[in-house]
Amino acid sequence: MMKSRPMAATLALFTAAGLMLGGCSAPSGGDAGGEKKLTFMFRGGEDEKKAYEKAVEQFEAANGVDVDIIVTTADQYATKLKAAIAGKQVPDVFYIGPGDVQAYVQNGIVKDITEYVEGSDTIDLDNIWEYGVDSYRYDGKRVGEGAIYALPKDVGPFSFGYNKNMLEKAGIPLPDKDKPYTFDEFVAAAKKLTADTNGDGTLDQWGTGLNVQWNLQPFVWSNGGDWLSEDRTKVTVDTPEFAESLQWFADLQNVHGVTPSVAEAQTLDTYQRWMKGEIGFFPIAPWDLSTYQKLGFEWDVIPYPAGDTGETASWIGTLGVAVSESTKHPEEAVKLVEYLTANKEAQQSLVDAGIQIPNLKDMAETWAADTSTKPANKEEFLQIVKDYGRALPGGNTFNAEWYDELFTNIQPVLDGKQTAADYLKEAQPRMQEFLDAANQQAGN
């Protein structure tokens, strides 16, 4: 498992649509001693757990509400939530991904909180990233517009980093934070970095080491390709732009040899190799920041290399905090959502824990200007959120089966045994079939 990858914090829970969801749910546990009681279910690692427990305590004290916490690991969350829903014990407040919105709305699991948050005096919607709020809007047809069904716990701009010391040692000019490498320039730099540094006949340093499932998107988009048509009805992976970028991705290993081989990556995965200083260029996400403060080398963040369009691209994840349709205390539940997503103190403690960038625009500007923590170019994360980040292609459709299908049989391309163009041509109809089924389920 790639530890640093999006598992950690920000992936949509691409599972909701597959659930057999019942109708309404029974109200959750009773109130003890007259105090209003809420259940909050979420997922995260130790740092995140601690930060949220603290935030919840502060909320309880300030609002006279008792909050029961149910916390799971990232891997267990979908299963546990599914069980809670099946058992009609839907938590009052819980995490959802953008990919869950349609199914949860259709099945009456999550509450429309538009009126609460728009009329609220404890939250300023305009100071929260539009991308985050819009990810949980749904107008009955399309996610991204309409009523609000959750507020963003965070937004997760997925960026790209490099090991400064390694580049300097190889005599490579440091990359420009405002001008992405072309594909060719990137390969040239990666080749220079790939080396047998101790002369024992085996490589111990590589230009990069990327995971196709989480890193292909920036290269496809910047090369003018995409997964879907604008109206999300047609799978568009069988284009020359898409094929060229996937082929380029596969060639990093097969032609240029600038990434650890499959065998080398099995000995020690690329995340570990990056942290040991063996890899020059590697993806960097907000939830990596606490861990990466302690790396034994200097590093910074840059735009992803860009294909034919010349414009860099990347994706941005998010998780939302929603309120159960069946909650007995909607006002308090929404207040908790607001507290977790937009309260200044709560946000600051999450940001200080190094697990996310601020949800609040004004706080984010202060954070980006702070040079006492790495990376220097924090602004890149904000640019992804504000300007060029896109949702993962599978995140805004009724389910992600069509999207996952691309990766299911992709290995021969990565191994150089099948061309990207051939593969995409045969994968497109399979993906289209899944997409049609998803759109049909969504009633589109």
* Interface residues toward Ca ion, by CB under 5 A: 196, 198, 200, 202, 204
What angle, rounded to 10 degrees, do the helices at 330-342 and 46-63 form? Answer: 130
Shorter beta-carbon distance to Ca ion: residue 226 or 278: 278
What angle, rounded to 10 degrees, do the helices at 420-441 and 401-408 form? Answer: 160
Shorter beta-carbon distance to Ca ion: residue 276 or 417: 276
Shorter beta-carbon distance to Ca ion: residue 200 or 387: 200
Shorter beta-carbon distance to Ca ion: residue 273 or 374: 273
Torsion of CA 412, 421, 231, 303, to 10 degrees: 80
Shorter beta-carbon distance to Ca ion: residue 33 or 201: 201
Hey, is 407 helix, strand or coil? helix
Shorter beta-carbon distance to Ca ion: residue 171 or 201: 201
**Backbone angle region of 42, left / alpha / beta, with phi > 0 → left and psi within -120 to 50 → alpha:** beta
CB of 198 to Ca ion, least distance (A): 4
Shorter beta-carbon distance to Ca ion: residue 204 or 436: 204
Three-state SS annotation for 324-392:
ECCCCCHHHHHHHHHHHHHCHHHHHHHHHCCCCCCCEHHHHHHHHHCCCCCCCCCHHHHHHHHHHEECC
Shorter beta-carbon distance to Ca ion: residue 64 or 201: 201
CB of 205 to Ca ion, least distance (A): 8
- Buried b / exposed e over 319-330, threshold 16 CB at 10 Å, is bbbbbbbbbbbb
CB of 200 to Ca ion, least distance (A): 4
Q: Is-contact 93 27, C-beta < 8 A? A: no
Pinpoint the alpha helices (H) of 37-161. Answer: 46-63, 74-86, 101-106, 114-118, 130-134
φ/ψ of residue 371, rounded to 5? -95, 5
- Length, in residues, of the chain: 444
CB of 196 to Ca ion, least distance (A): 4
Question: Distance (Å, rounded) from C-alpha 156 to C-alpha 357?
Answer: 8
CB of 202 to Ca ion, least distance (A): 5
Q: What is each CA distance from 159 to 52, 301, 372, 403, 442, in whole angstroms?
A: 25, 7, 20, 21, 32
Shorter beta-carbon distance to Ca ion: residue 200 or 231: 200
Shorter beta-carbon distance to Ca ion: residue 208 or 383: 208
What letter does residue 167 receive in the DSSP assignment?
H
CB of 260 to Ca ion, least distance (A): 13
Question: Distance (Å, rounded) from C-alpha 299 to C-alpha 283?
Answer: 12
CB of 203 to Ca ion, least distance (A): 6
CB of 194 to Ca ion, least distance (A): 11
Question: Distance (Å, rounded) from C-alpha 332 to C-alpha 328?
Answer: 9
CB of 201 to Ca ion, least distance (A): 7
Q: Is-contact 156 179, C-beta < 8 A? A: no
CB of 204 to Ca ion, least distance (A): 4
